Structure 1
C-alpha cells in the first residue's frame, strides 16, 4: 500500500489523498481549496494524478473542502465509482450544485470586468451541468459498520465521525499473500457531547492512521458556557438595537444553532418573538435533509422527532431562499438574528449582511466555527479595523464574538484520545495549519509521526 498526498497537507482545505493498493487507485476525498484568490488558481491546476486512472473515490463527508472538486475530477476524465453514506450523497448534491451556481455567477461578474479591460472571458471552475454529471458516478451506499469490497483482497468500512450529517472515518484493509495491512482515514472528527449528532465512533485499530489536526493545538470551550455566551451576545445586541449576524456553515452548524435557539426561547432566555432569518438556500435544504436520516441523530434530536416535535423550528424563524428576500434583510435596522453562509465569510449572502452591519456599533457578528487563514472571517477575528467588501472599505465597528465551543471539529484532547485508542504504528497528520500540527505531533508517543507535503508519497 502506498499513499500520495494532493491536498490538505500542512493546511486545512482541499483534502485529497490517493491510495495505491491491490492494483487499484482509490481516492479519499477530492476537496476544494478555500480562502484567498491564489487558492482559486490552485483549484484549477492539475490534481497531481490522472483523473482517468482513478478506480474509486471514497468520500468522507459533504463539506466543500472534501467534495468540492469532484465535478472537476469527472470533467477531466474520472469514470470510476464514488462511494459514501446516504446522507452524504444527498448533502453533496446540494453542496456541489450550490458551488457550481456561485462559480457561474462569479465568472459572469468577472467576464463583465474583463470586457471593460479587454481581457479574455472568465470561465467557472465547473458548471451546474458538470456538477449534475458528477452525481451520476455515485454508486454503492456505505452503511456505518458494514464492510464493502473494493477489489479482491481490499475492503473499506465506514464509521460515524460525528462531524456533520453522514460524515465518516474510513478503515481500509488489504489482504495479500496472507499478510494484512490496514489504514484509517479520520475524515473530520466531530466534537463530542453535542445535541444534534452522535459522538464519533471509534474504528478497530489500524497499522496506519491519517488524521486531521484542525484543532490539534487547543481545547474547546465546553458547550454549555458557549450556549450561554451565544444567548448573552444576542441579548446585549438586542438591547443596543442592532442585528446579530452569524456566518454559518450550512451543514450541521446551522441546524445546531437553530436547535439551541429553540431551547433558549423555550427556557425564556431569549424573547419568544425573536425574528431569526436563515438566509442560506443550502442550509434550508440541509435542514430538510436532516429529517430523512435518523441513523445520524444524537439522542436529544431523536427523542424530539419521536415525540412529533421539530427540533429545528422556532416561532420567529423565517427561511429566505430567494435573492430578493435576502436583499430585503439589508433594510432591517435592528432586533434580528441573521444566519447566512458562508461560515468563513469567503462568499455567499453573509458578505452582504456584513457589509450592512460591520460599520454599526449597535450590531454584532458572532463566529461559531473555524476560520482558515486568508478568509474574511479570520481577518475579522484577528482584529482587522476595516475590510473590503464589494470594492468598498468597510470600517469594523460592530461587536465581534468568537465562540469556539460550537465547533464541529474535535479539539486537541479528543483528537489525542482517538489516536491513542487506535495505537497505530504510523500516524500521518493532515488537515491542519503547520503550527497546530507541530503542537499535536509533540504529544504523540509510540508511533512514527509524518507530516507530508503536497506531492509526497508514503509507504504504508
Structure 2
C-alpha cells in the first residue's frame, strides 16, 4: 500500500501520481507538462513505468495538465479503464482531440523545417485516434457514488468546484485487513465561484494529496475584480480600442460569458461586439449548458429564467478560421475571448499580432500563467512579444485579474483542509516552490499534521497508522 509521486512535484503541471494497493497499480491523472519549450519537450520522455502494467486510471478533471498524456498512455499499451466524473468524459472528448490535432499540426510544421535541413521527420506525441481511444476507455461516474474499481479499492468522487466535472477523489484501500482512506484534492476551486458549487468538505482521511497553486497568496476580492472589469470596459470604450481576453476553453470562457450576461446592463455591453473565437470553447460551452445538475443554486435559477445557460445577446461564435480573420478588421469595440489561455498557441496569437502595438487596446489576463509562457511574459511587463518568429512591441495595457482564478487561494485551500475532523498526513503538490513551502507551514499550524513536499520518484508507505 504505497504512493509514488511522479508529475506536478518538481513543477506545477503534468499531474501524475502512482498508487499501489492489493497488488494493483493505479494512476491518478496523466497530464501534459506545460510551460517553456524545454519543459514541454519532457512530454516525450518515457514514462517511469510500463503503461501495460497499469490496471486503471482515475482522472480528477479534464484540464490538459491532468489529462493530456492519456492518449500517449494508450498509444504505448495501456488497455484498462479510466474512471472519471460524467461531465469530465464529455469535456475530454473535446480537449484531447484538440490536443492531438495541435500536436499533429506542430509536427507537420517542424517536419517542413527539418526537411530543409535534411533531418529525419518527427512523429506527433499522439494522434486523434489515440485521443478517441482514450476517451472510449473512460467510465463515467456521478458525484457521491461509491465504486469498487478493483478488489479492495473503492473510489468516491466529490465536487471540487474547479471546472465542470472536476473531482476530489476519496480512495478507500483495504489490503490484508489494513484499511486506509486516501484523498486527492485534484484542483480546488474558489468558494462562491459563479456557476459551480463550492468544493465539497470531507471529514475523514488518513492521507491527503493537496494542490498548492496559490498556496502563498490571496486572490483579490471578487467584488473588486468585477469593479475592475467595469473600469477596463469603460476605459477601452473611451479610448477607442479592443479588449483581448486570452482564456482557457474550459471553465474560464464559460465563466466570462456568464458574467457578461449577468452584468450586461451595468457594464453597457450592448455597445460592444463579443466574440468567442475558439471552436473548443464553443463546444465546451454547449457541454456546460447541457449539465445544469452540476450548477450552483444561482446559476440554476438564472438558467431556468431564460431557458438556457446565460450568455450575452451580442455574442458571436466564430468557428472557422475565416470568421476569425474577419475580426481583425474591427479597429474598436470588440471583446475577443480566444485561446490559448497562456498565449502559447491558438487564435489569440493572431489577435495579439494585430492589437499589441495599439495603446488603446486592453488585454485582460484572467488565469494562471505558467513560467516560460508568453502570457507570463506579458504579465511580467516585457516590452516585446515574439509571435510566430517575429517580434511585436507591447503598447497595449495589460491587466491581471487575480479574482477570477479557477484555483482557490491560500484561504480557500486552508478552509477545505480545515474541514477534516481527523488529522491526516498531507502531501503538497501542484505548485511552484514558494507556494508549496508556505502552504505546508500553514497546514502544520492549522492541523498539527505531518506535512510533506514530495519530490519526483519519492515513494511513501500508506499502511502505518
SS of the residue 2:353 aligns to: helix
**Residue 7 of structure 2 is aligned to residue 12 of structure 1:** no
Q: State how far apart, in whole Å, the 1-side matches of 2:152 and 2:189 are.
A: 30
Aligned to 1:455: 457
Structure 1 segment 405-424 matched on structure 2, within 5 A: 405-422=403-420, 423-424=422-423
Instruction: Show the counterpart of 1:308.
Output: 306
Number of aligned residues: 458
Which whole-Å CA distance do the structure 2 matches of 1:412 and 1:44 have between them? 33
Residues 170-216 of structure 1, C-alpha deviations (whole Å, 9 max, x = no match) = 00011234332111000000111122111111123100000100000
* SS of 1:209 mapped into structure 2: strand
How far is 1:132 from its partner? Answer: 1.4
SS at match of 2:180: strand
**2:42 matched residue in structure 1:** 42
Give the Cα separation in 2 of the matches to 1:349 and 1:416.
37
Which residue matches 1:170?
A: 169
Which string of whole-angstrom CA distances, capped at 9 and with x for unpartnered residues, describes residues 311-330 of structure 1?
43212100011111112222
Q: How does 1:427-446 map to 2 (within 5 A)?
A: 427-445=426-444, 446=448
What does the per-residue CA deviation read over 1:204-233, in whole Å, with 9 as the maximum and x for residues that have no partner? 310000010000000011212111111211
Report the secondary structure of 2:375's partner residue: helix
The answer for the alignment partner of 1:65 in structure 2 is 65
Partner SS state of residue 316, structure 2:
strand
Cα distance in structure 2, aligned partners of 1:268 and 1:178: 61
- After TM superposition, the structure 1 = structure 2 runs for residues 266-415 of structure 1, keeping only pairs within 5 Å, are 267-415=265-413
Q: How does 1:129-168 map to 2 (within 5 A)?
A: 129-139=129-139, 141-168=140-167
Quote the Cα distance in structure 1 between the aligned partners of 2:379 and 2:5: 30
Equivalents in 2 of 1:43, 1:247: separation in Å? 24
TM-score (norm 2): 0.96
Deviations, residues 144-176 of structure 1 (Å, cap 9, x unaligned): 111100222221110000000000000001123
The runs of 5 or more residues in structure 2 that have no matched partner are: none
Contact 2:260–2:269 at 8 Å: present in 1 too?
A: no
SS of the aligned residue for 1:442 comes to helix
Contact 2:11–2:430 under 8 Å retained in 1? yes
CA distance in structure 2 between the aligned counterparts of 1:25 and 1:363, rounded to whole angstroms: 51
How many angstroms apart in 1 are the aligned matches of 2:394 and 2:271? 29
Counterpart-to-counterpart distance in 1, 2:198 and 2:244: 28
1:28 aligns to 2:40 (yes or no): no
- My pick for the range that moved more, 394-403 or 198-207, is 198-207
Whether the aligned pair in 2 keeps the contact of 1:31 and 1:69 (CA below 8 Å) is: yes
Separation of aligned partners in 1, 2:241 and 2:259: 21
Q: What is the aligned partner in structure 2 of residue 202 from structure 1?
A: 201
- The whole-number CA distance in structure 2 between the counterparts of 1:188 and 1:164 is 9
2:270 match: secondary structure = coil
Does structure 2 retain, via aligned residues, the 8 Å contact 1:386–1:396? yes
Query: In angstroms, what is the RMSD of aligned CA positions?
Result: 1.2
- Choose 127-136 or 25-34, whichever is displaced more: 127-136
State the distance in 1 between where 2:176 and 2:73 align. 33
Unaligned runs of 5+ residues in structure 1 are: none
SS, match of residue 210 in structure 1: strand
- How far apart, CA to CA, are the structure 1 residues paired with 2:268 and 2:53? 55
How far, CA to CA, are the matches of 1:313 and 1:175 in structure 2?
A: 47
Contact 2:289/2:309 (8 A) holds in 1 = no
| Alpha-carbon displacement from aligned partner over 1:104-142 (angstroms, at most 9, x marks no partner) | 111111111111122221321111111112222113x22
For the residue of structure 2 that corresponds to 1:327, the secondary structure is helix
Partner of 1:79: 79
Name the CA distance, whole Å, in 2 between partners of 1:433 and 1:424: 25
Given that 2:303 and 2:310 are in contact with CA atoms closer than 8 Å, whether structure 1 keeps it comes out as: no
Residue by residue, what CA displacement relative to the aligned partner does 1:52-98 show, whole Å, maximum 9, x if unpaired?
Answer: 01011010000000000000000001011111111000000100011
* SS in structure 1 at match of 2:208: strand
Tell me the secondary structure at the aligned position of residue 157 of structure 2.
strand
Q: Distance in 1 between matches of 2:266 and 2:226?
A: 14
The answer to whether the Cα contact below 8 Å between 2:21 and 2:173 also exists between their aligned partners in 1 is yes
In the aligned structure 2, how far is the partner of 1:202 from the partner of 1:347?
36
- 1-side partners of 2:373 and 2:237: how far apart? 28
Mapping 1:74-113, distance limit 5 Å: 74-113=74-113
CA distance, structure 2, for counterparts of residue 44 and residue 256 of structure 1? 33
Q: Distance in 1 between matches of 2:393 and 2:74?
A: 43
SS at match of 1:315: coil
- TM-score with structure 1 length normalisation? 0.97
Single out whichever of 64-73 and 298-307 deviates more from structure 2.
Answer: 298-307
> Could you tell me how far 1:363 is from its partner in structure 2?
0.3
Determine the structure 2 residue equivalent to 1:240.
239
Distance 2:157 2:433 in 1: 28
Q: Secondary structure at the match of 2:95?
A: helix
